[in-house]
Amino acid sequence: MEHWFSWLDSYTEGIVVGVAVGFFVRLRMLRTDYRQYPTYLHGQLIHISLGFIAAGMGAVAVPALIEKQYTAVTFLALAAQQFREVRNMERETLDKLEQDELVPRGASYIEGIALAFEGRNYVVIMAAFLSSLIVIEVNLWVGIVLGMVLVGVAGLLRSGKYLGQIASVELGELRMEGPSLYVNDIYLMNIGLADNRKRIMKHGIGVVVSPASKDSRITLANLGQRQAILHDLSVVLGIFRDTGEPSLIPLSKRDMEDGRLGILCLPEEKDVEKVLQVIRSVPVLESAVRIPSEDPTKQFRRGGKSG
C-alpha cells in the first residue's frame, strides 16, 4: 500500500494524516444526549467545522516549525483566542435558553458545558500536531497507528465522573408534618395550600443522596451541582408543573449534620427506578469539585514540617 502515497512528500502526508486524526477526534468527542445540546443538526455542524479548522492548524504547525516559520506559533495563539470566543458564544447561547426552562441549568452547569467545548478544540489541535509530527519525523504508518490510538483515547474524554460514583442514591419517604414537607428526616419546605400538599404527595418522589467521602460531601453542598441534578431530572422525565406554581417545583435541601441531600422531584411519569438512574448519571461539575482531604495544613496540625 506504500505506493498509494508515493506521490506525496512527507509534509503533505503529515498534514493529511494530522487533519484526518484531528477531525475524527472531534467527531469522537461530539455527542448529543438527553440534554439536547448541541442540537442534532446545526449545532453539530458548527462544532464539526470548528474541529476541522482546529485540526488544520495543529497539522500545519509541524512543517511550519520545521521550516523555521515561527509565525506559526502566532497563528496558534490567535486560534486559542478564537476558541475562547467559542466558549463565550456557548455561554451566551445557553444563558438565553435559560429563560425558557421550567427548571434552569444554573450558571455552573452552563460554564461547564462552555468550558468543555473550548477544551475539546485544544485536544484536537494536540492530536493533529502529534500525528503530523510522527508522520514527518518517523513514519507514515506509525503516525496512522498513533492517530487511531488518539481517536480511541478521545472517547474517554467525553465525560468525567458521574454522581453515582461519588455518592449513593436511594429512595426516600415523602411525608407531611402539618404544612412541613420532609424526605425521611430531611426538611424540605413549607407547603401552605392543602391542594398543593395532595398533588405533591401524589406525584412527588423523594430521594436521598448520601456522600461517599468528605470530598463528595463538599461537592453535594455546591448549589450548582444540586441545580444540575434538578435540571437533568426535569429534562429526562419531564416535570409536573407549569409557570406560576412556585410550590410545585423540584428542590433539594441538605442535612447540615451529615451532608446528605434530600431531593423532591415531580416527574410526569412516576417511575422510581428511572429517577434513581437519572440522578446517578448526573455529571459531576468541575466547578463543584473540592478536595479538602488533601488539605496541606494537615501536616502542621500533626506537628509536621514543610519540605
- Rounded to 10°, the helix 107-137/71-98 angle is 150
Tens digit of each residue's pLDDT (9 = 90 or more) over 143-199: 899 999 999 888 777 667 888 898 999 999 898 888 889 999 899 988 878 888 888
pLDDT tens-place values along the chain, 307 residues long? 444 444 457 888 889 999 999 999 988 888 655 555 555 666 778 888 888 888 988 888 888 888 888 777 777 777 777 778 878 888 888 888 887 788 888 888 888 888 888 888 889 999 999 999 999 998 889 989 999 999 988 877 766 788 889 899 999 989 888 888 999 989 998 887 888 888 888 888 999 999 988 888 888 888 999 999 999 888 888 888 777 676 778 889 998 888 899 999 988 888 899 999 999 989 888 877 766 666 655 554 554 544 3
Q: Is the distance from CB of 100 to CB of 235 less than 8 angstroms?
A: no
Number of helices followed by number of strands (H, E) in the chain: 10, 7
Task: Say how far apart CA 117 and CA 93 lie, in whole Å.
Answer: 13
Distance (Å, whole) CA 122 – CA 137? 22
Query: 23 near 120, Cβ under 8 Å?
Result: no
pTM strictly above 0.85: no
